[in-house]
Chains A and B, each alone.
Chain A
Amino acid sequence: MLTLEGITKYYKEIKAIEGVTFTVRQGEFLAIVGPNGSGKSTLMRIMLGIVKPTAGRVLFNGEPLNEVSWRELRRRIGYMPERVSFYDNLTGMETLRLFARVKRSTVDKTVERILPRKVLERKVGSYSKGMRQRINLIQALLASPDIVVMDEPTSGLDPMGIAEFYSILSEIRQERPLTVVLSSHILAEVEGRADRVAIMKDGNLKAIGSLRSLYRKLRLPLKVFITLKGKDPLIERLLSLEGATGLTYRNGYLIANVPPENKMKILSSLMEKKNRFEDISITEPGLEEVFFGLH
């Protein structure tokens, strides 16, 4: 759908992004993760045509963008920047009408699902951070875009606010196909929500793919938790023989890192000794492990 090809951006001598290439697929939820200053926001601005790349190009449905097609693309993209305070003297509804007119659209009643009419009729100057973020989300969704680009949309929200934000987004995506490109530096937030994750570091795209494909590619170990009554050298030896590493005892568990290719072998060996432990659980690596595995 939207392809970034060899995108490089330098601000004078300072590198912001170097040689980033990937495609945003139709209907997917793509999370761009990375620490602050890794180039996530710059990448998004380039994607929207707000920032011009030093090298590389953006393609829409396989075609390089020019001034006319950028305008066409912008009709189909909604953008939710990270920090927006809007206009204190305008009401929420007036703010939305302003951006709707700019996008050649109107504000329909469905916005009241995200912010009640009573709140929308108040001046934005009286809004909390959470309410401003909701207005920001609504304006990004005005004119029914095909893609919505969100730069750290939950930044500054409390856990309840974050949960509400994703719940609204999920509801909207259930109703109609919407491609989401979202950046975050909070890994737990996008884990389990994003279809694919792009990991950025120092302006470079370190990896992109589904979480599962990433940890397979990185050959990250699985974590095995075995509930024991006490130390058990036999189980320890068995695990070591099958290639498990990092064996430690903590809170009544024997914890071991197991190479993913040995998972079944280790499990069947352990099952033969099942009378020696009470319980067993296996955890696949999360985004955090993938992230740190790449850094």
Chain B
Amino acid sequence: MVFTEASRAIAWKELIDKLRNRWVIIVGLTFMLFTLSIAYLGAAPAGLTGFRRIDTTVASLTSLVTFFIPLMSLTLGGGIIAEERERGTLEIFLASPVSALEFITGKFLGLLIALTIALVAGLGLAGGMLALKSGIETLWVFARFVFNSLVLSIIFLSISFFISIAFYERTKVIALSVFLWLFYTIIYDLGLIGVVLLTKGEIGMNLFSALLLLNPVDVYRLMNFISIGEFKIVVGLASVEFSGYINTPILLLIALLWTVIPLGGGYLLFKRRYYE
């Protein structure tokens, strides 16, 4: 009952809209440009150019993507209610026999496909070129990086849905999106560094690792560092080892929770506001 004709129609509209307004092309090209630049010029400060090791490329790309993807996803999903309200079409949907679940599913699915195309095309093309230069075995590492990036974008798309439904006015949604972006990409980790400094490193690795899981950006970083076999993580300026219970299945579970909770919350809020 989720992927009904109505939800597929809404998903189709979202996808067509993002393809025709060139959002997908612009984001895809930006990703490709970033990836190729970092892969080719990543070692330029050391006086070297050209494609280097895949792990260093992924590590450098991770730093960049942690800023870019959350912002992109938050802006993409932030307008789902505000835009429909401004166009006057939200009321048409609400007056139609479409359920809250169909509406939210359709919107999410459409934007998810648009995001996936942009990410996979942008990063994938660059990854393919990288694999040609550095060896085909690097393709698996890069594919995991693309997958992890997709997971990060899905998490922030879910968060953006919640914000959009909860606040529905464009200015409020933008303000909160910018705040959350800053919070998760910069403020949270600065706070963690502060905690480590204040406790003189006595915080305990288990608690520290648990705190990392509360930030989806750190979850993404951990996923990437695990995928390239790097057992040290860089949180801001601090380099620390992380707790043993953190592994890929746990991180995927946390990522799933980060997706389901905001999206589910948004759906319930939408249903309560308009359907009950």
A residues sitting closer than 8 Å to B (CB atoms) are: 45, 48-50, 52, 67, 70-72, 74-75, 77, 79, 81-87, 89-90, 94, 97-99, 101-104, 139, 149
Contacts and interface: CB of A to CB of B under 8 A. Distances in A.
A104 B102 CA distance: 13
A225 to B, nearest CB: 45
Contacts of A87: 13, 17, 87, 89
Given A45-B91, A79-B91, A82-B88, A104 B97 contact: yes
B93 interface: yes
User: Is the contact region of chain B dominated by helix, strand, or loop, or is it mixed?
Assistant: helix
B110 to A, nearest CB: 11
A58 to B, nearest CB: 13
Given A98-B12, A99-B96, A102-B10, A90 B17 contact: yes
Interface stretch (B1-9, B162-170, B193-201, B243-251): B1-9
Interface in B149-190: none
A240 B98 CA distance: 64
Given A48-B94, A74-B96, A101 B89 contact: no
B44 interface: no
B103 to A, nearest CB: 9
A89 B95 contact: no
Contacts of B9: 97-98, 101-102
Contacts of A49: 94-95
B13 A77 contact: no
A101 B17 CA distance: 17
Contacts of B86: 85
Contact of B88 (A71, A74, A83): A83
Interface string B75-95: 000000000001111011111
A238 to B, nearest CB: 58
Interface in B224-276: 274-276
A97 B10 CA distance: 11
A92 B127 CA distance: 40
Contact of A101 (B5, B20, B87, B95): B5
20 contacts: A48-B91, A49-B94, A50-B91, A52-B276, A71-B97, A83-B88, A84-B87, A84-B92, A85-B86, A86-B87, A87-B13, A87-B89, A94-B16, A98-B13, A101-B8, A102-B6, A102-B97, A102-B98, A103-B96, A149-B95
Contacts, number: 79
Contacts of B275: 67, 70
What interface size band does chain B fall in?
A: 20 to 34
B97 A81 contact: no
A102 B95 contact: no
B89 A90 contact: no
A152 to B, nearest CB: 12
B99 interface: yes
A98 B99 CA distance: 15
A102 B16 contact: no
A89 B274 contact: no
Given A89-B17, A102-B6, 13 more contacts: A45-B91, A49-B95, A50-B274, A72-B97, A83-B88, A84-B88, A85-B86, A87-B89, A90-B16, A94-B16, A102-B97, A104-B5, A104-B97
A217 to B, nearest CB: 33
Give the 7 A-B CB pairs with smallest separation, nearest first. A101-B9, A84-B88, A79-B95, A89-B20, A74-B97, A48-B95, A75-B97
A139 B92 contact: yes
Contacts of A48: 91, 94-95
A81 B90 CA distance: 10
B95 A77 contact: yes
A90 B88 contact: no
